[in-house]
Structure formats: structure tokens, C-alpha cells
């Protein structure tokens, strides 16, 4: 059928674009991470997907900046290779706002790959001794100027996550598929209570079963991703816990279905239970996680995404991914329904 | 845990039960868990190097295998149903 074709086309696009589109360039780390005032210091920046030593018409520029007002420009810039850059700074005599130590963000501007930022790249401490009252003029001598923006199709660079940002098109849609399938399931459960035809019960059960499959896949893939970004597969994150509870509630739905000898009685009770299960799914997945701190992005407020976490390039892959995976989920559920229909006919239930 | 060790844990070779589909899936699952450490040499971290791209590979593999596992289960149910209807005729 046409929507199955669309599912395949979308998923091929998602796999291709999701894996092949490059990441924007970024700064992984800076060495050393500490500096003192009045020191002349060469800092080594380690870039990701950068082209530091590629010849370009305009020069490379490097800043360490505290905020919009105070910034330091590099005196000398030597690219070692494409991913390593050495920049020499002369640290000023004192720190802005009379502070003892400040964290400075690093900003490298490249004409081709655009500007990349490393927050809190280096800690600058006030050297002991006499502190000048007047702020060193070096702080405002070279403000951060107009920087370049990388053009073309590329995904955002984020430290710690790196390439695994692509899991957004594989792990996250699992939860959308789960929601759509469970919604379809509860819809047919309500229909069964109004009209106890076996067809409605078959559909409710099949959608719940495939929804559970995608929920389990979402949980396992989440654990793999968490292992390499949060440090361990299970950190009792509020979303992980609530999802596990929701999946167990739906697991009980199938146990309930099978614990009755009489088909109609079991189907009826399962339909009622399904409505309660769906009613608890919504607070478990969408309300409770918003009330607690979470390791998931956009932790406070939105349990899944902050507006900064998805840029337009990612949207161009993420939305097709949701549609593609959802259609695939309904396709699998459709096979399950058709099997059950034949089965029920064979044992003269229908 | 080396690959040979993993194969040795699946000794029911003798009665050919090794080729049961469930064992095959368990073997793949073991591979998925231990492969990174099997491939790691010295201090190399197979999953964390090259920008953690292998985490994406693992996630896609798990989704693929999960869906295939479900389809295999469905196919077995269908086979049983086919035998059932064959007996009737």
C-alpha cells in the first residue's frame, strides 16, 4: 500500500542523511586549562571537523572572552595541522569586575568552517601581589568582531555527544511510535467497549503489542546511548524510571488478557485496563518528567527537547524520521492484526 | 571474553540445537555486548573513538535486530497456523 512505500522511502532518506551529513566543526578541548594574569601563554586547541591549516583568503581569528564587553584576542596563531591550533595570548594584569578567577570561553573563527565555541575553555586566575585598580585595557582592545557562519547542510557539534547526535533520528522516534501505537490501541479498546466485535479487540491488542516492542527498543537504545554520554546505562533518570513503569503497566495488559478462559470476559476487562494504562502513560511520560531534574536535554520544562537542541538541519531529518518509523510501526502492527484475524477464523472464534 | 570463548559457551553443537534461532540471537546479543572490548587494543576505546559514531551503529543494529526478532516470532506463529489449517483440509 502507498503508506508502506512512503515509510520505506522516508526511512532510506533518514538512514542516508542521518548518517552521511557531516557535523559542524567544533573545539574539543584546550590545553592548558589554567592560566595566571600577566603570563604569556600558548594554548593548544583540539578541533573536531576543523580545517585549521587549510589556506584561506581571510585570516583565522581566536578569542578568549568573558562576556560581550571583555575579550582577549590571540597575539599569534599557528595551525599545527587541520585539527590542532596553537594560539599565544598575553594575559592582562587584572580581571574584570574585580574577580579572583574567571572562566573564559574560547572562540575560533575560520572563514570556511565558521566560528566554533568552547565554553569555559580556560580558567584565568589573579596572580598574587598588587592588583591594579584600573582594568587592563587589553580586555577591551580587541572585541569579538563579525564571525563567519558555516553554510551548507550539517548537524550541530556538541561536546561529549559528538557523532552520537545522530541517534536523535533512531532513538527518539521510538517514543513517538510508542505514543501513536498506544493511542491507536486505546482507541480500539474504547470501540470494543461500545461494540464488542472481535476485530476491535484484535486491533487494540496488536497495536499495544507493537507499541511495547518499540518501547523496549527505545529503552535499550537509550541505555546504549546513555552508557557513552552519561557514563552508565542506567542512572535512575526520571525519564528512564517512568518509562520502565509505563512499559511494565502495558506488560500487565497482556498478562491480564491471557488470564481468562472466557474470551469475551478477558477482552472486555483488557479493554477497560487499556484505558487506565493509557491514562497513566500520559502523566508518566509527559507530566512527571517535567517536574524533576533529568539528564535528558531540556531537563527542566520539556523532557525531550529544548528549542536549541534541534536546528533546522536536524528538523529536516527528524520529522521525516518520526513519520517513517511510525508508518513502519503501523505496518508491523498490520501484519500482527492480519495474522490474528486468520488465527481467530481457524479456531472458529470469529 | 574472546569470540572463541563465546562460541564455546554455546556447546550444544552436538545435537545441532546450535542452529536454533534463539541461540543465534543470544549469540548476536553477546557479540553486541562484548565486541567493543574484543576489538579494543590496549587503551583504545572502540566505542568512544571516531566521535562516538559506533554508538549510532549499535543503536541502529539493536533496532534492526529487535524488529527482525518480532518478525521471526510472527512468522513462527504463521507456520503453526498453516499446519493447523492444513490438518483441517
pLDDT tens for A134-145 read 888 888 888 888
Q: Which of A111, A45, A104 is nearest to A78 (CA)?
A: A45
Q: Which of A19, A164, A332 sits opposite B52 (nearest CB)?
A: A164
CB–CB of A217 and B62 under 8 A?
yes
Beta pairing, strands A71-73 & A114-125: unpaired
Partner A, chain B 6-25, Cβ-Cβ below 8 Å: none
d(CA B46, CA A312): 31
Phi and psi at residue A141, to the nearest 5°: -70, -40
Residue of A nearest to B66 (CA): A217
Interval A177-187 mean pLDDT: 96
CB–CB of B70 and A332 under 8 A?
yes
* Helix axes of A2-20 and A312-346: crossing angle, nearest 10 degrees: 140
Residue of A nearest to B88 (CA): A346
Percent of chain A with pLDDT over 90: 56
Question: By the CB < 8 Å criterion, does A223 face chain B?
Answer: no
Question: By the CB < 8 Å criterion, does B81 face chain A?
Answer: yes
Q: Which of A161, A170, A346 sits opposite B60 (nearest CB)?
A: A170
How do residues A294-332 score in pLDDT, each as one tens digit?
788 755 444 445 555 677 888 999 999 999 999 999 999
d(CA A319, CA A14): 9
| Most A-contacting residue of B37, B55, B64, B83 (CB-CB within 10 A), to test interface | B55
Chain A partners within 8 Å of B50 (Cβ)? 163
Sign of the torsion angle spanned by Cα atoms A310, A315, A320, A323 = positive
Q: Which of B51, B59, B66 sits opposite A225 (nearest CB)?
A: B59
CB–CB of A343 and B77 under 8 A?
yes
CA-based diameter of chain A, in Å? 95
pLDDT at A275 over 50: yes
pTM score of the predicted model: 0.84
pLDDT at B1 over 50: no
Chain B partners within 8 Å of A162 (Cβ)? 51-53
CB–CB of B59 and A163 under 8 A?
no
Q: How far is A176 from chain B (nearest CA, A)?
A: 14
How do residues A206-219 score in pLDDT, each as one tens digit?
999 999 999 999 99
CB–CB of A161 and B52 under 8 A?
yes
How do residues A11-70 score in pLDDT, each as one tens digit?
999 999 999 999 988 999 999 999 998 889 999 999 999 999 887 888 889 999 898 889
- Please answer whether residues A187 and A210 qualify as being in contact, where contact means their C-beta atoms are separated by less than 8 angstroms: no
The pLDDT of residue A303: 44
Q: Residue A118 pairs with which residues in a beta bridge?
A: A106
Average pLDDT score over chain A = 89
Q: How far is B15 from chain A (nearest CA, A)?
A: 32
Length of chain B: 89
- Please answer whether residues A295 and A230 qualify as being in contact, where contact means their C-beta atoms are separated by less than 8 angstroms: yes
Q: Lowest mean pLDDT: which of A170-184, A189-203, A283-297, B27-41?
A: B27-41
Question: By the CB < 8 Å criterion, does B47 face chain A?
Answer: yes
Residue of A nearest to B70 (CA): A213
Q: How far is A145 from chain B (nearest CA, A)?
A: 30
CB–CB of A164 and B67 under 8 A?
no
Amino acid at each position: 500500500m502507498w503508506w508502506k512505500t512512503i515509510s520505506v522511502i522516508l526511512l532510506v532518506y533518514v538512514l542516508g542523511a542521518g548518517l552521511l551529513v557531516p557535523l559542524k566543526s567544533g573545539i574539543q578541548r584546550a590545553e592548558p586549562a589554567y592560566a595566571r594574569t600577566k603570563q604569556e601563554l600558548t594554548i593548544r586547541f583540539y578541533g573536531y571537523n576543523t580545517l585549521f591549516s587549510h589556506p584561506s583568503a581571510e585570516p583565522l581569528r581566536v578569542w578568549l572572552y568573558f562576556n560581550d564587553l571583555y575579550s582577549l584576542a590571540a597575539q599569534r596563531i599557528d595551525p599545527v595541522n587541520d585539527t590542532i591550533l596553537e594560539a599565544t595570548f598575553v594575559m592582562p594584569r587584572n580581571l574584570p569586575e574585580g574577580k579572583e578567577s574567571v572562566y573564559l570561553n574560547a572562540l575560533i573563527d575560520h572563514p570556511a568552517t565558521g566560528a566554533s565555541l568552547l565554553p569555559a575553555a580556560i580558567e584565568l586566575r589573579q596572580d598574587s601581589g598588587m592588583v591594579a585598580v584600573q582594568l587592563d585595557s587589553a580586555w577591551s582592545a580587541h572585541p569579538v568582531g563579525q564571525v563567519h557562519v558555516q553554510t551548507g547542510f550539517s548537524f550541530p557539534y556538541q561536546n561529549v555527544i559528538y557523532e552520537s547526535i545522530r541517534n536523535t533520528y533512531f532513538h527518539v522516534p521510538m517514543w513517538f511510535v510508542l505514543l501513536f501505537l498506544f493511542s491507536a490501541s486505546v482507541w480500539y479498546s474504547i470501540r470494543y467497549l461500545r461494540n464488542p466485535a472481535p476485530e476491535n479487540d484484535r486491533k487494540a491488542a496488536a497495536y499495544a503489542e507493537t507499541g511495547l516492542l518499540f518501547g523496549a527498543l527505545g529503552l535499550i537504545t537509550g541505555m546504549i546511548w546513555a552508557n557513552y554520554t552519561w557514563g552508565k546505562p542506567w542512572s535512575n533518570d526520571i525519564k528512564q524510571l517512568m518509562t520502565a513503569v509505563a512499559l511494565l503497566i502495558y506488560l500487565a495488559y497482556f498478562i491480564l488478557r491471557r488470564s481468562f478462559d472466557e474470551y469475551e470476559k478477558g477482552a472486555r476487562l483488557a479493554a477497560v485496563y487499556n484505558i487506565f494504562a493509557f491514562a497513566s502513560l500520559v502523566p508518566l511520560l509527559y507530566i512527571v518528567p517535567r517536574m524533576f531534574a533529568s539528564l535528558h536535554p531540556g531537563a527542566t520544562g520539556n523532557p525531550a527537547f529544548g528549542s536549541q537542541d534541534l536546528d533546522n538541519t536536524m528538523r529536516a531529518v527528524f520529522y521525516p524520521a518520526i513519520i517513517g518509523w511510525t508508518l513502519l510501526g503501523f505496518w508491523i502492527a498490520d501484519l500482527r492484526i492480519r495474522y490474528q484475524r486468520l488465527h481467530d477464523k481457524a479456531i472458529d472464534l470469529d | 571474553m574472546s569470540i572463541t570463548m563465546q562460541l564455546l559457551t554455546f556447546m550444544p553443537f552436538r545435537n545441532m540445537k546450535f542452529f536454533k534461532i534463539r541461540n543465534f540471537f543470544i549469540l548476536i546479543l553477546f557479540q553486541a555486548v562484548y565486541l567493543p572490548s574484543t576489538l579494543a587494543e590496549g587503551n583504545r576505546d572502540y566505542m568512544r573513538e571516531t566521535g562516538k559514531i559506533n554508538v549510532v551503529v549499535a543503536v541502529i543494529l539493536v533496532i534492526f535486530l529487535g524488529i527482525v526478532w518480532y518478525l521471526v516470532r510472527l512468522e513462527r506463529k504463521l507456520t503453526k497456523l498453516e499446519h493447523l489449517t492444513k490438518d483441517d483440509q
